[in-house]
Homo-oligomer: A and B are copies of this chain.
Amino acid sequence: MSSNDSIEALIELMARLPGLGPRSARRAVLHLIRKRGPLLSPLADAMRQVADSARECLNCGNIGTADICDICTSNKRATGQICVVEDVGDLWAMERAGVFKGRYHVLGGTLSALDSVGPEELRIPRLIDRIPAEEVTEVILALNATVDGVTTAHYIADRLQGQVRLTSLAQGVPIGGELDYLDDGTITAALNARKEIL
């Protein structure tokens, strides 16, 4: 066994990260080796810790280091509102905005006939169970505005109809967005949902 096999193995694993290819993985590993003290060693420890402790929240599907995540256990979060998102990445994006003070439900994907993803695969039954259990009054469907996302939102709305208030995120022109760069669908949605200027 060559003494460089461990470096080669590290490069191969790094190349499997999204956004890195073989060439940039080599560059990253070289950078890590140069900074073994301040960067590589802490990174190895952080990865080991996350690998050992990260798990999905049994309640909402968020990723954390406990069986029930921070958001579900926090007494600062309103229990009456659930924001349904496709993915943990979407939950993080909502949290960065810092505006939503309720709880989340992470589906873990969207319904897809092609990939044979049904409601059972998507934590939808768990969502339905949470409505009475947590005395939820509003479900905000914050799914992506894709075909699969809209289909999934429709399915969930159908299942929960009459039990809770159902809302979805507003569609329109993004803050800082330029009309010239927006697609027709967004402009149509923004025009249809136009508001009075007081």
User: Nearest Cβ distance between residue A180 and chain B, in whole angstroms?
Assistant: 24
Judge whether A64 and B3 touch: CB under 8 Å.
yes
- What is the oligomeric copy number? 2
A50 in complex: contacting residue of B7, B46, B48, CB < 8 Å: B7
Asked whether any CB of chain B lies closer than 8 Å to the CB of A182, the reply is no
Query: CB within 8 Å of B: which of A1-22?
Result: 2-4, 6-7, 9-10, 13-14, 16-20
Give, as a whole number of angstroms, the nearest-CB distance from A26 to chain B: 7
Contact string, A28-64, partner B, CB cutoff 8 A, digits 1/0? Answer: 1111110010011111111111110110000000011
A4 touches B47 (CB 8 A): no
- Name the one of B27, B32, B51, B66 contacting A40, with C-beta atoms under 8 angstroms: B51
Binding site for B on A (CB under 8 A): 2-4, 6-7, 9-10, 13-14, 16-20, 24, 26-33, 36, 39-51, 53-54, 63-66, 69-70, 88-89, 92
